[in-house]
Structure 1
Amino acid sequence: MDDSNYSRRRLLAGSAAALAGGLAGCSGGGGGGSTATDTSGSTETTGSQSTTTSSAKTYDVGFGDYQTTVNAANFPEPPKKLYVYAVQSGWSNWPALMKQFKQQYGVQLNDDDRSSGEALKDARSHAQNPTHSAFNGGYTFAVQAMNDGLTQAYKPANWDKVPEKLKTDNGHCTATRRMTTAVTYRKDIYEERGIEPPKTWEDLLKPEIMQDLALQTPQAAVGLACALSINNARGGSLDNLQPVIDYYKQIQQGGAEFTDNFLAQFTKGEYATFIRYDYSGLDLKYNNSDLPEENVGLALLKGKNGNKGAFNQPYGYAMLNGAPNPGACKLFMDYVLSLEGQRKFLDAFVRPIRAPELEMPPEFPSQSRYKETQFQVDYATLVEKQESVIQEITRGANL
């Protein structure tokens, strides 16, 4: 990267100071964030709060009819934690959001290391006695949780800034960010092997690529997005999954592995290629000092016949019925949807749901490439078919 482009590594080093100035926008009407009040009756913006929770402080949260006041006296104080499914280190830059939320409100979040599918399964098993305050994960998984009767209505501040198709009118599910399926590869290893950067999903069928290719099963939202990408690129649909099943059988025969943990191995060169999201590769390329930027490549793929092959996956959250620590949960949901929280996503190249209000980093692939490769599906249909889709692919490809 030349000197005309800013370094993401340098940016992140100063991001805490730059972004700690408070939630953007105004309070009231759910427009821009919460306000805090002390017992003397004076008011201050949330960004100016001390890093320790005071029982004297209250916060106005929510949007529209869901506006309410929560009291810090009811927040979990360390070592107690706020539990939200799949808010975890190593994913979506959650550590930065967790750290800043604790500094501003004194609430420590649990590092919840599980996939969307695992989170949904756990939420179902604890439906009568919830252990977590909110579900976070693939948006369609959150809608499934709603359909299972696991969630309750809460519209966080800035709910009105979320696209209509990516939130439910009843206030149960709200998208917070979006990601696009992409292939990340070791440019240095590809050059050593004489492999050209991939442009289509067919390119990954080369033996020298399949031999150390890593990806995830469709039980995880990221794995499902990968499967849908390949299936669409090869002419399939939600009613015809044979194209991706055949593809998965072929790459397994070539040495590809389905695994959740491969980033460290990729850095060491044990895997030369992995399939995840655009953010995963960009964050690894620009925000990881263990691997030179020039050794990491990112590709958005099409099918050999021009079909689009990069599924755009929304992620979001839903408050759970019987949620422990509901006040702290509402404040956290507000924070994630604030411009400050949304910028934290963008620091790791996760496209926030409020991206139109923010300046996008130049390191993203060109918008023309996204237009050529990116697609969406009818999310209502996907929710309806999701479990059967996952089961059919899993059984058919022997995953």
Structure 2
Amino acid sequence: MTATARLALTATLCAFAAPALAQEITINSFGGAYEEAHRKCVIDPFTAETGAKVNIVTAYSADAFAQLRAQKDAPQYDVIHFSGGQEIVGASEGLLLPVTEEMVPSLADLYDFAKAGVANGEGPAYQIAAVGLVVAADKVPSEPTKWADLMKPEYAEHLVLTNITNGYGMIGLLMLNQIAGGSGDDIQPGLDAVSQLLDAGAVVVSTSPEIQAEFAQNDAWIAPYASDYAFTLKKAGLDVKFIQGEEGTPASFITANLVAGRDNVELASKFIDKSLSPDAQACFSEALRYTPTNSKTVLTDEVAADVVYGADAAKGLMRFDPRVIEANRSAWTEAFAKTIAR
């Protein structure tokens, strides 16, 4: 075989090999029930439609981001998912790529808040964990309608707060701080509110199972927490409902991000598009009661009753700046620990 023939054969083989290599992506997921829903709602349908293999690394947001930073010259992920705002830092450090409607057509149908940072490289939010008031409907004499109601004396001995080492607990504190007149520069009003509530009989827990125990065994009526966990309590047989406070609904944004420095940009973009599709979002909402971000998502009445749903309801969603939280996390955690030490 001549040198020219060998080169031609090599080029032909590469041409056939390239699509096969491109038919595989690596993502992270969060394990447990979330990963089960992720497979059912996005990963398996994506594989069925494209024939692509999806390699899953179970890694929560902070760990996945640490891996992304450490592997910046040779990243393992094609798509990386965050729930703690890490996409803002990752985009600023050049670790993520911007997506466009040409790459991800479903972007066109997202609510504006879910795609506000995509031009900067921040991935779009494909699910929202809304934080509001989880209420024991069969116990509370009168249902609260706003966050400020948490300060009512009649609720105090039946109120469950969550330590801010828990992400939802952090959001709950910042919301209490806001209604008490505080700001990102000053959380003392929120800490004072927590102290007042504890003096009146409220309790602080650290984990989700502890919240369930308080509702099941200790006559809890109200806990500032997320809609997805309210659904968990309902599945456990407890009569609870999720109520949005009139002042607004703070939320954790779950984002799908395109990683820089990888070869499978087109296939990874298709995976993100699948995550944003109405069918995938409706599936997630049914499975875990997350709020959809695609305006064309249709939910059953039963599911819609448990989540923030529709354009009007979505207007009440709010997000505390993850950069501010991260910059102050250590100091705030120490201050909160001192406040609840009693």
| TM score, norm. by length of structure 1 | 0.61
Residues 1:150 and 2:119 aligned together:
no
Distance 2:154 2:70 in 1: 39
1:331 counterpart residue number: 270
Larger Rg: 2
CA RMSD of aligned residues (A): 4.2
Unaligned runs of at least 5 residues, structure 2? 1-15
- State the one-letter code of the partner of 1:217: I
Q: Check conservation: 2:78, 2:264, Cα contact below 8 A.
A: yes
C-alpha spacing 1:316/1:101, structure 2 compared with 1 (3 Å): same
Distance 1:228 1:357 in 2: 30
| TM score, norm. by length of structure 2 | 0.70
Residues 1:209 and 2:158 aligned together:
yes
1:169 counterpart residue number: 119
Unaligned runs of at least 5 residues, structure 1? 1-56, 59-69, 303-307
CA shift at 1:169, angstroms? 1.9
1:159 counterpart residue number: 107
Q: Check conservation: 1:216, 1:260, Cα contact below 8 A.
A: no
Distance 1:121 1:175 in 2: 20
C-alpha spacing 1:169/1:88, structure 2 compared with 1 (3 Å): farther
1:280 counterpart residue number: 229
Distance 2:322 2:264 in 1: 29
CA shift at 1:335, angstroms? 0.9
Deviations 1:60-110 (A, max 9, x none): xxxxxxxxxx9455344xxxx833254763479434324434454463453
Q: Check conservation: 2:22, 2:263, Cα contact below 8 A.
A: no
2:305 counterpart residue number: 363
Distance 1:134 1:270 in 2: 42
- What percent of counterpart residues are identical? 14
2:5 counterpart residue number: none
Distance 1:328 1:101 in 2: 10
**TM alignment of 1:1-399, pairs within 5 A:** 71=19, 73-76=21-24, 82-86=26-30, 89-90=33-34, 93-97=37-41, 98-104=43-49, 105=51, 107-108=53-54, 110=56, 112=58, 114=60, 116-138=61-83, 140-155=85-100, 156-165=104-113, 166-167=115-116, 168-188=118-138, 190=139, 196-199=142-145, 200-203=149-152, 206-210=155-159, 213=160, 215=162, 217=164, 220=167, 222-249=168-195, 254-259=202-207, 261-262=209-210, 265=213, 269=217, 272=220, 274-282=223-231, 284-285=233-234, 288=235, 290-291=236-237, 295-301=239-245, 308=247, 310-323=249-262, 326=265, 328-347=267-286, 348-356=288-296, 358-359=298-299, 361=301, 362-364=304-306, 374=316, 376=318, 382-398=321-337
CA shift at 1:244, angstroms? 2.2
CA shift at 1:336, angstroms? 0.4
More helix by share: 2
Aligned to 1:149, what secondary structure does the other structure show?
A: coil
Aligned to 1:385, what secondary structure does the other structure show?
A: helix
